[in-house]
Amino acid sequence: MERVVLIHYPPGGFDLKETKALAEECGYTVAEVIVYRKRPRSKYFITEGKLRQLKEAVTKHKCTSVIFEPNLKTVQKYNLAKELGVEVIDRFDLILQIFALHAGSQEAKLQVRLAKLYYDLARARERIRLAKLGEQPGFYGLGRYQVDNYIRHVKYMISITRKKLERIRMRRELWRRRRRKLGYPVIALIGYTVAGKTTLFNALSGYSQPTDRPLFTTLSPKCALVDLGNMKTFVIDSVGFIQNLPHELVEAFKSTLEETVACDLGLLVVDISEDAERIFKKVNTCMEVLATVGFRSPLICVANKVDLIDNPETLSDRLYILKRWGFNDIVPVSALKGYGLDLVRFSIAEHLRKKTDFYECRAEGK
């Protein structure tokens, strides 16, 4: 595995454990972590002193790349690569690499390509100007290509990719209409990456979707018809969220997120085995993304992985964090062990029954 030095930036609210997991998923081994707490600088993001420390670490560990937690400006990447002589990677690059690794379907591959094109277009002029100054690690000179020609080409590729995704989106819309005609409600599993959504999906549906990958197991939505005992419903497993999700990825994955927005009921899956601060941040991230995509459906909070908590008081304290968010219906479960699944089915049935009664009353004018 490729050895890297990681620049941890606590003021940005980044989780070091999560960033390490992202790096490892991309095939990197974090040889050293350098913590930077000061205000970002325009030239290198870090101070000259930290830059010297970073140089020494790169030489000491014989690293070929450096990872920064925050997203860097194009000029900062260029300046750092020029000084360090190695490739400079930021958070967007890491997430995009993981998405590219896990993109199995045509839709997922197109969405990853579109996110990369959006990213390139936003930084095209600066990248080309810097590339013309000389070949640098991580930068590729365009030779005879001019700025306007390159930008025109990127816009053309965005147009082609969006048209292909639009055809897939229309096909998904037809599937949604067919599901509506069948009369079954739709449940969406929502939550932070690694919260256990796919494990819960498997437990409810009897399917065996892969759960061996630690991050972003599901990029394309998976749908299954589930029998709750007294009613049937479609359950959809959606893409996981992550802190500081780049705008380009949200824009590119809109067709996938539409499946979540169009649901009758959402199950917000939360990893309750984590510490209180991390739970709060992850729930906050999920709610921000849901607000961005226009989610308006009711939510049931599923506190997953309770089997990893031995102390009942600890579990009670963490459930209280979820109550602070205004969740009235919180179901503690262990999707892996099968604990609490009947409670999940009961809660879903109760919410759907209430919703059905509401619409019936409204139709009758009551």
Mean pLDDT of 102-116: 84
* 127 located within any domain: yes
pLDDT (mean) for 37-45? 92
Residue 177 lies in a domain: no
Q: What local confidence, expressed as pLDDT, does residue 139 receive?
A: 43
Residue 172, in any domain of the structure = no
Encode pLDDT of 205-221 as tens digits: 887 776 665 677 677 77
Cα–Cα distance, 316 to 137 (Å, whole number): 51
Q: In CATH, what number is assigned to the domain containing residue 92?
A: 3.40.50.11060
Task: Judge if 129 and 81 occupy the same domain.
Answer: no
The pLDDT of residue 58 is 95
Same-domain check for residues 223 and 323: yes
pLDDT at 362 over 60: no
User: Is residue 236 scored above 70 in pLDDT?
Assistant: yes
Task: Indicate if 256 and 223 belong to the same structural domain.
Answer: yes
Q: What is the 3-state secondary structure (H, E, C) of the chain?
A: CEEEEEEECHHHCCCHHHHHHHHHHCCEEEEEEEECCCCCECCCECCHHHHHHHHHHHHHHCCCEEEECCCCCHHHHHHHHHHHCCEEECHHHHHHHHHHHHCCCHHHHHHHHHHHHHHHHHCHHHHHHHHCCCCCCCCCCCCCCCHHHHHHHHHHHHHHHHHHHHHHHHHHHHHHHHHHHHCCCEEEEEEECCCCHHHHHHHHHCCCCCCCCCCCCCCCCEEEEEECCCCEEEEEECCCECCCCCHHHHHHCHHHHHHHHCCCEEEEEEECCCCHHHHHHHHHHHHHHHHHHCCCCCEEEEEECHHHCCCHHHHHHHHHHHHHCCCCCEEECECCCCECHHHHHHHHHHHHHHHHHHHHHHHHCC
Residue 111 maps to a domain: yes
pLDDT for the residue numbered 358: 39
Shared domain check, 268 and 340 = yes
Q: Over range 186-206, report the average pLDDT.
A: 91
For residue 200, is it within any domain? yes
In a domain, 359, yes or no: yes
Q: What is the pLDDT of residue 63?
A: 94
Is 231 found in the same domain as 86?
no
Domain that holds residue 107: 103-160
> What is the per-residue pLDDT across 7-19, written as a single tens digit (0 to 9) for each?
999 998 888 998 9
- Please tell me whether residues 130 and 194 are part of one structural domain: no
Mean pLDDT of all residues in 327-334: 91
**Residue 339: is its pLDDT beyond 60?**
yes
Looking at the structure, do residues 123 and 56 belong to the same domain, yes or no?
no
> Could you tell me the pLDDT band of residue 356, with boundaries at 50, 70 and 90?
low
- The answer to the question of residue 178 being in a domain is no
250 confidence band (pLDDT: 50, 70, 90): confident
Flag whether 174 is in a domain: no
Q: Which of 160, 175, 207 is the last residue of a domain?
A: 160
Give the count of domains, the chain.
3
Claim to verify: residue 155 and residue 230 sit in the same structural domain? no
* 210, 304: one domain: yes
pLDDT at position 148 is 74
Question: What pLDDT is stored for residue 87 in this prediction?
Answer: 93
Looking at the chain, the whole-number percentage of residues with pLDDT higher than 70 is 88
What is the per-residue pLDDT for 363? 39
137 and 89, same structural domain?
no
Q: What is the CATH number of the domain that holds 222?
A: 3.40.50.300
pLDDT of 252 strictly over 60: yes
Residues 118 and 54 in one domain: no
**What value does the mean pLDDT of the chain take?**
84
Residues 114 and 129 in one domain: yes
Encode pLDDT of 134-178 as tens digits.
Answer: 544 444 444 444 667 878 888 999 999 999 988 988 888 888 888
